[in-house]
A and B are shown apart, each in its own frame.
Chain A
């Protein structure tokens, strides 16, 4: 009882401290979130009539929305696991090189820090029809490829994504690997465990939370592939790289906010379900490993 006034004072102070960020969160996240839902349920006309799920039905029957959605899912299924696997392998190798691998460790983060637009220009030159890659291909006796047009554009897009995001994933894996106690590996070696067995029985279980984090972060990043596609292919790139972001961007430019919000919330639901499944699967896998 004696502590009640103090607890009340502490609670009040707590709420006062929380108030500014809460207001910010409310104004810049919560309100726009619900406003977006409202937009997606109206027809955007002068009368702004409530149309229920009509907008959603329309976009789910729209070929371009479905094309964008399919391409986004495909690209993310290629890019995220690719980054995950490469980052893990590189992190394991770098972990063995410490401390002499410090320069390499720092360098691998550079692409992540560089401004994307500037790097895109370099990549455009590299993949140009007369660029470095095609010259190498030509030297090897093969036909040049128009990397920057048509379906072939997928290759530079994936490569660019991997190049840019690999470093951050490596750092995450590296920090997790460095936290694994070395004696565990010593005991395993003494017991005659192979490298692969060590990886499966020691490394993966201990770094699984980080591994989960990396796949989630990379998958979310892969969902947002757009800048590279737009910079190279414009608002209407080849159908093989036309993403959901292209669709939403074009709808936004045409001031069709109903379609933008309907597409965005549809995708959000898909991602929500997917990640729910992913978390369930990863959780089960972790328990098995443990």
Chain B
């Protein structure tokens, strides 16, 4: 009897182990857009489930996936023919439970505008490794167009869609930019908006021909779930409204209902949650699923066996919803929001560590909560990401609440970084964090414009004082053809005054911080600069009082060349951020002779010293370091100096070249009357290609050269006494009073200096 019991226990344990691992093995990140675009020159837009197959649609392929597979399989299809000047877009792939369909929009372009010509429901016939579109059903578009104010007409934005009983239901932003649900009969193409739905958020098929719709009431901040009977066209609430949870910041994104298990799945705080019978209070996490932009993908698909599918911009995620399959080891990363690098690291780490759940939680956590948690030895978060200029970072850095990084990969990478950056990553000689974002903005000059006014590079002002004193004279010497102006055309007098004051203050603060000086603002030199900026007659510098009501429109000078804007208040300065190719950072000194600084804003990822998974967290940081994009890595040290082209621009150049070849082919057989316009088109395309090739740099050789030549001026923005001392907004109020002329510059600086000095005297 004992032996039988032992055998039975062993069998049960083995069965659990096998089933558990099989279910866990179903959780994958597949079909990343990077993989698809590299392998197939395509990218995934939408998807749906039919039977046990997940179908994913790209521009020219359909992809299929089954649970247990590692990769997708591609099916080719031929795009239906379109007339000249028509542009087809595949908007939504969907299934009615028996067949596949594609909702496709056709835009028409004439010389004046661009508008939605028709919307088609295309049945898809599958045949082995290929697919074919059947005869389209034209849909009624009268209620599905929107004008975004540019005189063009577009299809409304479709967020989510599902098909129930032959009706395609779509959550959209209607022509008034309001969220709504549109129901379309897929046989006739007729449709209507569902009435009495305030602020619908998500939509998913339910049971018995019903659809589940979530709505949010902004006035009382509650969510309500409704059941909509498609046949009867009746709406009824599914349960009592749920109050919005400020801590969890839940909005039930990516909803999917499983009739199989009676559970409603939704995304929350890096987890996939499940609630049964709308029992929200007892919802439980069943899988981890972290998304960067969870509102912009397509969630809410289920494969048989309750495998949840979410299609985002980065990747398609499949998750088992068996709570037993959720890994016990969880790595919680707080305040991510750091873009593609973090998502890439998340995907790569997932692949390498399927037994670890990485939860990226971007819900806001206040500095007080974070530091108090650390003081209480809280281990609920493993990795934090904070801006170096924040008070939180200052607080944890000073107190040593950052685990020492012992990984050789991390420490050796840090040792190679610029000294200014190492300073904020090392404490008492030990590495404690890695940078995950680096950028720099500062005022800029268009040196070509200065040259046109007769100023060689060495004659261009080197200090703020010199620049401000020179402005009135410069204004008098501007050419009449308007080819050179002092400031960007969109600037107004008041805006320019405010931005000038801001720029000078930023430069002053950075200078004090970088030179290790005590903060002081009641300084005669600083006051002089602010007075110059405040008393400047910006109208005499050519700036209008207010903006044109029609908005800002880039223009050219009378000669047809681009207009040179001598001074720009803010231009990208870090590598990968030099987006304006005509402007170079100005490097104006606040104190003549003391040099200028290049301010760096850095966000650092570090490990909570109380984390139970310090080594695992370091492994994640290693993955993250390896996945940092060029915009970060190029600014960390001088090791990488190869220019980088923008992949999107390269792709666009290739597409334009293809278009050029098509037009050239048309020219060979064109009627004589069409030849001039085709030749003009060819010339225009060739010029576009040349311009794009010149401007296709993501990191240009010139920007690398400039940055490396000035990397001794790099200074990291630390926690600023002004921000810290302005808890109640009084400093901001006083600054506004000064700008309005109600407070003298000297009085403002005296008051500012007093506060900052008192703050400094209080100590850390």
Contact = CB atoms under 8 A, between A and B. Distances in A.
Interface of A: 44-47, 58, 62-64, 234-236, 239, 242, 247, 250-251, 253-257, 259
B328 interface: no
A254 B400 contact: no
A46 B401 contact: yes
Nearest to B370: A255
A242 B758 contact: yes
B133 to A, nearest CB: 62
B761 A254 contact: no
A46 B758 contact: no
Nearest to A59: B763
B375 interface: yes
Contacts of B375: 44, 257
Interface in B716-764: 724-725, 727-728, 730, 754-755, 758-759, 761-764
B368 interface: yes
A251 B758 CA distance: 12
Contacts of A46: 374, 399-402, 609
Interface of B: 367-368, 371-372, 374-375, 391, 395, 399-402, 609, 724-725, 727-728, 730, 754-755, 758-759, 761-764
22 contacts: A44-B375, A44-B399, A45-B399, A46-B374, A46-B399, A46-B400, A46-B401, A47-B400, A63-B761, A64-B763, A234-B730, A236-B755, A236-B758, A242-B758, A250-B762, A251-B762, A254-B724, A254-B764, A255-B367, A255-B395, A257-B375, A259-B763
B611 to A, nearest CB: 12
Given A46-B400, A255-B371, A236 B763 contact: no
Nearest to A250: B762
Contacts of A62: 761-763
A81 to B, nearest CB: 29
Contact of B759 (A236, A239, A256, A259): A236
B160 to A, nearest CB: 43
A255 B372 contact: yes
A254 B724 CA distance: 8
Given A45-B400, A46-B401, A235-B728, A254 B391 contact: yes
Given A46-B402, A234-B727, 19 more contacts: A44-B399, A45-B401, A46-B374, A46-B399, A46-B400, A62-B761, A63-B761, A64-B763, A234-B728, A235-B728, A236-B758, A242-B758, A247-B762, A251-B762, A254-B724, A255-B371, A256-B763, A256-B764, A257-B375
Contacts of B730: 234
Chain B CB count within 10 A is highest, among A44, A46, A62, A257, for A46
Chain B CB count within 10 A is highest, among A63, A234, A253, A257, for A234
B400 A236 contact: no
Nearest to A47: B400
A64 B764 CA distance: 12
Given A236-B755, A242-B758, A247-B762, A253 B401 contact: no
A contact patch SS: loop
Contacts of A253: 727
A283 to B, nearest CB: 39
B contact patch SS: helix
Contacts of A256: 763-764
B761 A236 contact: no
Contacts of A257: 375
B761 A64 contact: yes
Shortest beta-carbon contacts, A-B, top 5: A46-B400, A236-B755, A255-B371, A64-B762, A45-B400
A204 B54 CA distance: 93
B763 A235 contact: no
B753 to A, nearest CB: 11
A250 B761 CA distance: 12
B397 to A, nearest CB: 11
A182 B680 CA distance: 115
B89 to A, nearest CB: 52
Contacts of B758: 64, 236, 239, 242
Contacts of A254: 391, 395, 724, 762, 764
B737 to A, nearest CB: 13
A251 B367 CA distance: 14
Given A254-B391, A255-B395, A236 B372 contact: no
Contacts of B391: 254
Contacts of B367: 255
Chain A CB count within 10 A is highest, among B375, B395, B730, B755, for B375
A242 B371 CA distance: 27
Contacts of A239: 758
B395 A236 contact: no
A154 B399 CA distance: 37
Nearest to B609: A46
B567 to A, nearest CB: 35
A269 to B, nearest CB: 21
Contacts of B763: 58, 62, 64, 256, 259
Contacts of A235: 725, 727-728, 755
A102 B371 CA distance: 54
A235 B727 CA distance: 8
A131 B730 CA distance: 21
Nearest to B395: A255
Contacts of B399: 44-46
A63 B400 CA distance: 26
A152 B399 CA distance: 39
A263 to B, nearest CB: 11
A208 B304 CA distance: 86
Contacts of B727: 234-235, 253
A236 B725 contact: yes
Contacts of A234: 727-728, 730
B752 to A, nearest CB: 10
Nearest to B756: A236
B556 to A, nearest CB: 50
Chain A CB count within 10 A is highest, among B395, B399, B402, B725, for B399
A255 B368 contact: yes
Nearest to B372: A255
A23 B758 CA distance: 42
Contacts of B372: 255
Nearest to A48: B375
Nearest to B368: A255
